[in-house]
Amino acid sequence: MDALPNFSIALVNYKTLELTKICLTLLKQHFDNGLLDAKRVKVWVVDNDSQDASTDYLRSLDWIHLIERVPAVKEKGFIAHGRALDMILEKIEDDYLFLMHTDTFVYEPEVFNDFLRLCSSQTVAEGCREQVNRGYFRTGWRLFSRFLKHYSRRAKRVIGIPARDPKAWREQYIKSFFALWNVKWMKQHGYTFLMEDRIPSYALQEILLNQGKNIRLISPMKLFKYLDHVEAGTVGLLLGYDELNRRVKRKMKILKKIDQFPENLN
């Protein structure tokens, strides 16, 4: 079997010291334990002008490639995130880039190699459309309820009853909390993650599908055997969600699992 290619990991930090520290400490442990090879894998982190303790923490790490980004004007969150990813895209020399969020905690680093093994000449991206693993029952119910809501709104509009715009009843795009991109192909064609001022990679994914390129889908049941994702961890921290919020509850459940991790994360 041919050797797997080198790759980079991209993270964007904005005022999430607690989450960023756990995310990066887990990655560092994988390097220290020989499960990730520093000669083969580079970790890039953009700090999006946090101006807090998370910036100081990142400056203290000598094993990451840190980019401190200071936008000229205030930006929407997804715009700032997309521009940060494109800064990494411009600097890296590897052909493959894993996008991660600072609230993604990788327990089994073999997930990186598994993604790379699935790549083919026609595969430009791999990822999951769901940000959490809801299980078969909850996933099925969610799809069914969203399907009903979508077509009930369409029916109301047809017969002249005021109704909200029908949203897509199933997820259309792979999410960037953990996704692999063939950035060599992207650069050859002049593509970036932030396009048309939309959520990073969404416009690009539509271009790929229109060109007949493959976006390989990974099921949440498979992906979440390797990792956890708080989901909107940054948003939850910045908006000050209380302890009854479902995302905060999920975060606390994940942090309890982190406490049981065999290595010290403090």
Express each pLDDT in 111-153 by its tens digit.
999 999 988 778 999 999 998 775 555 555 455 465 566 447 7
Residue 107: predicted pLDDT: 94
- The reply to whether 146 and 83 lie within a common domain is no
Average pLDDT of the chain to the nearest whole number: 85
In a domain, 84, yes or no: yes
- The reply to whether 103 and 161 lie within a common domain is no
In a domain, 41, yes or no: yes
In a domain, 143, yes or no: yes
- The reply to whether 113 and 187 lie within a common domain is yes
In a domain, 265, yes or no: no
- The reply to whether 101 and 116 lie within a common domain is yes
In a domain, 264, yes or no: no
* DSSP string for 118-170: H--TTEEEEE-S-SS--HHHHHHHHHHHHHHHHHHHHHHHHTT---PPPPPSS
Q: Are 104 and 177 in contact (CB under 8 A)?
A: yes
- The reply to whether 97 and 200 lie within a common domain is yes
Alpha helix (H) residue ranges in the chain? 17-32, 53-59, 77-91, 110-118, 135-158, 183-188, 202-210, 220-223, 233-239, 246-259
The CATH number of residue 186's host domain is 3.90.550.10
132 backbone dihedrals φ, ψ, rounded to 5°: -140, 160
Last-in-domain residue among 170, 192, 221? 170
- The reply to whether 68 and 162 lie within a common domain is no
Report the distance separating Cα 39 and Cα 30, nearest Å.
13
| Residue bearing the bigger pLDDT, 231 or 189 | 189
- The reply to whether 126 and 217 lie within a common domain is yes
- What CA–CA distances, in Å, run from 49 to 15, 38, 52, 92, 234? 9, 27, 9, 21, 14
Residue 235: predicted pLDDT: 47
- The reply to whether 114 and 234 lie within a common domain is yes
- The reply to whether 43 and 102 lie within a common domain is yes
Q: What is the pLDDT of residues 170-208, one digit of tens each?
A: 678 999 999 999 999 999 999 999 999 999 999 999 999
Residue 49: which domain range?
Answer: 7-130+174-259
**pTM for the complete prediction?**
0.82
Q: Are 171 and 129 in contact (CB under 8 A)?
A: yes
Q: Are 253 and 260 in contact (CB under 8 A)?
A: no
- The reply to whether 24 and 145 lie within a common domain is no
- The reply to whether 65 and 21 lie within a common domain is yes
Q: How many domains does the chain have?
A: 2
- The reply to whether 17 and 145 lie within a common domain is no
Confidence of residue 239 (pLDDT cuts 50, 70, 90): very low
